[in-house]
Structure 1
């Protein structure tokens, strides 16, 4: 029997690979893409090696004082139809993407700030093919809407850490589910997995995995997280959710029997730098490295377990909500829309706020009137139904409810369609 061992990183894990799909299959795609990159104001090409015969380009680019090695090549593409199972793609967009036969692949290593590297890669994609019809993020195994890509590339706010990876689920026998990420390796991290989930609990397990992955991308210290506890949430009884991860070969030993996600499922993939997520139920457990399975908390999730955002993500959401406030103004003209605004009400402690939802009533320039939709936790002098005027800088998030969907600052491009 072949010995179970860790595979070296695959090419799409070592570097970030994306495939830009143009609207037409032209002969001069690569030379035009290079010319467009050279015209970018934010970047400067330091080195340019163009292999015309093999249709491949290697560049060194200066972006905000950091130097990136960029590779470009022209080749074929075939997008799996299930990559387009998203409300972000209209039928005509899906049809064009599925018919596409040619793409420009752009690959690059991520430097110490993964979100900055990812943002640059999006900017380069839009610069190369301004009228792209879609972007396949090969490293994260997901298809990105051209509308979102353009919005994110043109924003002054960095993308969210959740954009840098995907969480996928494989359903096996007896409704068992194997959850795993794609895209974290390019960030210098380990991929993450939860084994032995099920259909009943997969959403809470998904939220836990997503939160943990975001936490690892956002954290300042870049030490190896394996074996170390991370406090990422609270259960309905107030009990802390402290997670850790260990390499998959070691993690499989914690299961007496595991079929879905076991050694047989790792012959062709999920066998490099990926780790299985476990719980530490107490400080004593962490000190002794006593691991518990995620499913041990399945009776304690309740309807709304609390998972934390990092301060960095909270600040990012706030900045994006304010940057995209014109979409709120636009949506407010349709009286069938309901718009909720999250306002930061200052507490007595300097720099601390209670973030609470209001319903928009009217807008006058950069000011707006809104009605409180819930009871505050820290303020006993205002209650649901309270109305007041606020400014754009008071906003920390917003949601627009239309007849067909809900729209946030991250999906504001849907109002442009």
Structure 2
């Protein structure tokens, strides 16, 4: 039997992506109407549309779509909102910490869900974006997006924002990370990453106090894998820099990791811990979803792969994590395209208590006769047509003539991200639609 890990990494095995929407409309969508919407869409070009007919009724549409010079196939069904589907949505809400609880009563009253299935061949991040654009084309007014592959939910307003641009959304919304603590240690693991031609990723048997830092590292590895493809097993990745130490990690398959990371107890017997085989086995003895290909991240220290707990003295507060060039470009384009939100909210709330406005800027420096960028955050005090002025809140690693706390005027062209802290939430380029919901559209409109 072929090694499943190798088959996943070589894209010989592709996992389907199942994403649906729960429309607000009272009546069930008709496949004939959905077909017409697809054919008229300005977001992509439908090259072929087939109907799968059973019992004299169309139950599936199969669309071949040209998008960004690539061809993709999407299957579309209208599903009855069964008790099983409702329980799935409720479980995803629980995994989110109950964030979507306000929608649950409406979901329980809904009668249908529009479901799509895709394989992410060609460019995976582009394929994900297309799948959401197809869903928005089929239904533009929705309660929730239900990402069954990632066990997560998105709000209907966020789908509208994602579909309105040709810049893919943050890879951070394309998967979920589950945190499972027990006896002072934690198991972090992802869902939804395999559909991008990668293994899932995990941290096992890490100390609880390191969970937040390890989660940031996990997110960096996953985002880079989604955008540029995963690294091979045991291939060392330079993840970031912290307290003058370069952070290096590699992954090994979970089947090996549970053995490597187990501590020995009495008479040399290995101790059980959260995330080992017992937690990947159902009550009936069958193996569950967590036994599929998944890579456990280990720290590479002096050429040896070790438990990340040994990095504990190097996980400082000024950790800098590396994203790929492609992801940095995407972030920059997305931040600049949506900066008008930041500007308008800044003008309305800059003097309000409890608000702060941060912009990340790629600051130039030279190393080995090459121009490089150190991306750092600035607390913004003033915005002009071409620049932002603010105080540096990081301690630079590579630029000696810039100091934490000092103010600088910087070009908006070098922006790579932005964030707004409010008394009640954190706003960024990906969730800025939330401002309208909380603050009644006060100054977040696009200037015409």
Query: TM over 0.5: same fold?
Result: yes
- Counterpart of 1:63? 67
Change (3 A) 1:280 1:104: same
- Counterpart of 1:288? none
- Counterpart of 1:39? 40
1:343 is aligned to 2:361: yes
- Cα distance in structure 1, aligned partners of 2:403 and 2:247: 32
Displacement after TM superposition at 1:125 (Å):
1.0
Alignment of 1:2-401 (within 5 A): 14-52=15-53, 53=57, 55-75=59-79, 76=81, 77-78=85-86, 79-80=89-90, 83=93, 92-172=102-182, 174-219=183-228, 222=229, 225-236=232-243, 238-254=244-260, 255=262, 256-266=270-280, 267-283=287-303, 285=304, 291-331=305-345, 332-334=347-349, 335-336=351-352, 337-347=355-365, 351-363=371-383, 366-367=385-386, 370-374=389-393, 377=396, 378=399, 380=401, 384-386=405-407, 388=409, 392-401=412-421
Contact 1:81 / 1:98 at 8 angstroms: preserved in 2? no
Change (3 A) 1:244 1:361: closer
Change (3 A) 1:259 1:407: same
- Cα distance in structure 2, aligned partners of 1:162 and 1:381: 30
- Cα distance in structure 2, aligned partners of 1:404 and 1:275: 36
**Cα distance per residue 1:53-106 (max 9 Å; x no partner):** 262222211212211111111212311255267599576445423543420110
Displacement after TM superposition at 1:375 (Å):
7.7
Displacement after TM superposition at 1:13 (Å):
7.1
Change (3 A) 1:274 1:350: closer
Total equivalences in the alignment:
399
**Cα distance per residue 1:120-150 (max 9 Å; x no partner):** 1111111111001110111111111212222
TM-score, normalized by length of structure 1?
A: 0.85
1:416 is aligned to 2:436: yes
Q: CA RMSD in A?
A: 3.1
Q: Secondary structure at the match of 2:31?
A: helix
- Cα distance in structure 2, aligned partners of 1:315 and 1:88: 33
Consecutive unaligned residues of structure 2, counting only runs of 5 or more, are 263-269, 281-286, 438-448
**Cα distance per residue 1:217-268 (max 9 Å; x no partner):** 233xx576212111112342x2332222222223323133334222222222
Contact 1:88 / 1:145 at 8 angstroms: preserved in 2? no
Contact 1:179 / 1:193 at 8 angstroms: preserved in 2? yes
Contact 1:84 / 1:94 at 8 angstroms: preserved in 2? no
- Cα distance in structure 2, aligned partners of 1:306 and 1:356: 9
TM-score, normalized by length of structure 2?
A: 0.79
- Cα distance in structure 2, aligned partners of 1:380 and 1:279: 32
- Cα distance in structure 1, aligned partners of 2:377 and 2:242: 23
